[in-house]
Amino acid sequence: MSPGLERLLPRPRTLVEHPEVLTLDADRPLAVSAPLAWQQALERFLPGLPLEASGPTEALVRVSVNPDLTSMCIEVAPSGIRVTTPEKLLFPSAATVAQLFRLAEGGRMPCCRIEDAPALERRGYMLDVSRDRVPTMDELRALIDLLGSLKYDHLQLYVEHTFAYAGHEEVWAEASPLTPSEVRELDAWASGVGVELAANQNCFGHMHRWLTLPRYAPLAECPEGIEHAFSVAKEPFSLCPQDPGSLALVEDLLDQLMPCFRSPVVNVGLDETFDLGEGRSRQLCESKGKGVVYLEYLEKVNRRVTERGGRTQFWGDIIVQHPDLVPRLPRDATALEWGYEAGHPFQEHATLFAASGLPFWVVPGTSTWQSMLGRVDNMEANVREAIRAAVDHGARGMLMTDWGDFGHWQPPCTAWPGIVAAAAEAWNPGSMPSDLAEAIDWLVPASQGAGGGLVALGRAHRALGSPAVNGTAAFFHLRYAHAAEVERAPELSIAGCEAHEAALREALTLLPGRGACRTELEAAAAIASFGTRLARARLEAEMAPLEELPEPVRQDLRSSAVDAATQHRHAWLIRSRPGGLRESAGRLEALAQRLA
């Protein structure tokens, strides 16, 4: 097979190469006979390609829609390109043709026949825009075009407090939130490449951004606060499920958010309700059972979504702890089975949902959060295992997630390996590219040749030698710098810290000499290096508090912290809004103050 055709991604299910070539005339616009939406998508995937509408007889590219088909067929012959596709694969067929044109080096496109359809019906991506990074509109439009070009058909932007809800201005005032008009604009932009933009608003746990404010504190399960993984200080975290005001707030949020989307899908969250039954609902949970209280609240939220014409999605982590209740879940809701570590029990949990008849999606992750630079090896295994379970048990879709825990210290480009890998697996399981760096440089226009350095930096954490879970030891020594022990960085050694520093330096040499990616990755590497140096200093001092480290060591570490925060502030504004930056960089600056 031609080396060029092997670069198609997602890899087609069936591809037969022919010996001829299609010769293209670079001096003439490309004559296309196709539905307008297909032509406009091709222009988005291939900016600058001169196109002109044409009749089918004169057209070099002819596209027809056949509702009876279940797969698309693309034939490249010396006389031109013919595409026959069902409506649901209209945009993926444009994405494939765009890649074929990019393969036509010297104006010669290899002739072939492609028959193709996805293994999973829905292939989605979710970006956390609440901890604390909200991308610019240009960045969100670029993300949408990238997803469409890789045959994703679904996108969610995870919201806790970063939508400009009227009447709740104190919650989002400093967050540079998404406005209703911006969401409608993104919704229209996404539809132009076949991507469904869906609403996402947590409605139970993860409401600390609201509940720490006096106006909303009375709705908290634990108004006095709890210790949780997303803050250093104790905070109220979840809504109280038995307080009528909790559902009144949810109704207000749904009434404002849902009309901004043409999609009926609404992800209402309901995950990680750490404090359920620990405060105001304790007596109710003791009498009914915590699982039943959770289920009844889920049913109430689902009813409010469906009354507004929506279809509920919810995270499945709580309900799998109560397998006897899974058959009682509302049949019109979809469970999202998430797990982000290699070895997560996707098979076990998928079996549970499938046996109940409840529709479900699998949810792997980019493995970038709590790492600064990513954990590429874990991501690859996590994606493969999730897709395998999805295929084995009839999941309806996949949602690849990119979280931003503790300030989104990882730059947006660190998600590209995961975006590319999940696109390949969800469409054609077993086809994840062996050379992710090459695939990124070819498929992601914004990479500007940074793929090799990006992937190497995403593997540098292995040098630490610590089997940290859901993050890296370098990150956790920053996150828990206040603690006498950093339990989430097991087996970390001084030698591992030294090896990590060397791995970071070597990986940085693989980046191009300039460009946005280099700036962002250098900033993230500076944070990772600071975390490693802080860890080493504390290990050498038998985990002494920061204030008790030798003064020369503290001065050196403080300089590293200030430098990392400065680089982080500069790199953040390349693709992200200013809101949230004060909090994200402030965590580094607080460490610098402690070291002063």
pLDDT tens series, the chain, 596 aa: 566 899 999 999 999 999 999 999 888 899 999 999 999 999 999 998 889 999 988 999 999 999 999 999 999 999 999 999 999 999 999 999 999 999 998 899 999 999 999 999 999 999 999 999 999 999 999 999 999 999 999 999 999 999 999 999 999 999 999 999 999 999 999 999 999 999 999 999 999 999 999 999 999 999 999 988 888 789 999 999 999 999 999 999 999 999 999 999 999 999 999 999 999 999 999 999 999 999 999 999 999 999 999 999 999 999 999 999 999 999 999 999 999 999 999 999 999 999 999 999 999 999 999 999 999 999 999 999 999 999 999 999 999 999 999 999 999 999 999 999 999 999 999 999 999 999 999 999 999 999 999 999 999 999 999 999 999 999 999 999 999 999 999 999 999 999 999 999 999 999 998 999 999 999 999 999 999 999 999 999 999 999 999 999 999 999 999 999 999 999 999 999 999 999 999 999 999 999 99
Residue among 87, 25, 71 nearest 50 (CA):
25
Collapsing DSSP to helix, strand or coil, 16 comes out as: strand
Has residue 213 been placed in a domain?
A: no
pLDDT of residue 2: 63
**What does the pLDDT look like over 341-359, one tens digit per residue?**
999 999 999 999 999 999 9
Residue 280 lies in a domain: no
Task: Tell me whether residue 440 is in a domain.
Answer: no
Q: Of the candidates 162, 182, 180, which has an alpha carbon nearest to the alpha carbon of residue 172?
A: 162
**38 & 127 share domain:** no
Supply the Cα-derived Rg of the chain in whole angstroms: 25
> Any idea what DSSP says for residue 378?
H
- Say if residue 362 is in the same domain as residue 380: yes
Neighbouring C-beta atoms of residue 58, cutoff 10 Å: 11
Are 475 and 546 in a shared domain?
yes
Residue 172 lies in a domain: yes
Q: Three-class SS of residue 504? A: helix
Reading phi first (left if > 0) and then psi (alpha if -120 to 50, else beta), residue 557 is in: alpha
Number of domains composing the chain: 3
Predicted pLDDT at 1: 57
The CATH number covering residue 151 comes to 3.20.20.80
412 and 525 both lie in a single domain? no
Same domain, 91 and 131: no
On whether both 262 and 303 belong to a single domain, the answer is yes
Q: Which residues pair with 108 in a beta bridge?
A: 23
Question: How high is the pLDDT of residue 3?
Answer: 63
Is the residue at 238 inside a domain? Answer: no
Domain limits for position 86: 5-116
C-alpha–C-alpha distance, residues 288 and 299, integer Å: 15
Q: Which helix (H) or strand (E) holds 503?
A: helix 494-508
Whether residues 394 and 479 share a domain: the answer is: no
The reply to whether 446 falls in a domain is no
Distance set, CA 437 to CA 14, 403, 414, 475 (Å): 24, 22, 12, 24
H-state helical runs in 126-212: 137-149, 169-172, 180-191, 208-211
**Could you say which of 116, 136, 159 is where a domain stops?**
116
Domain identity same for 38 and 108: yes
d(C-alpha 492, C-alpha 478), whole Å: 14
Distances (CA, A) of 333 to 73, 152, 246, 276, 301: 34, 22, 20, 22, 11
Backbone φ, ψ for residue 236 (5° rounding)? -65, 145
Asked if residue 217 belongs to a domain, the reply is no
> Is the same domain home to 368 and 428?
yes
Final residue of a structural domain among 73, 99, 116 = 116
Q: From 403, 433, 463, give the residue that closes a domain.
A: 433
Please check whether residues 267 and 188 belong to one and the same domain. yes
Q: What is the CATH number of the domain that holds 111?
A: 3.30.379.10
Would residue 214 count as lying in a domain? no
Whole-number percent of the chain with pLDDT over 90: 96
Considering the domain architecture, whether residues 318 and 350 belong to the same structural domain is answered as yes
User: Based on the domain organization, do 470 and 588 belong to the same domain?
Assistant: yes
What's the pTM? 0.97
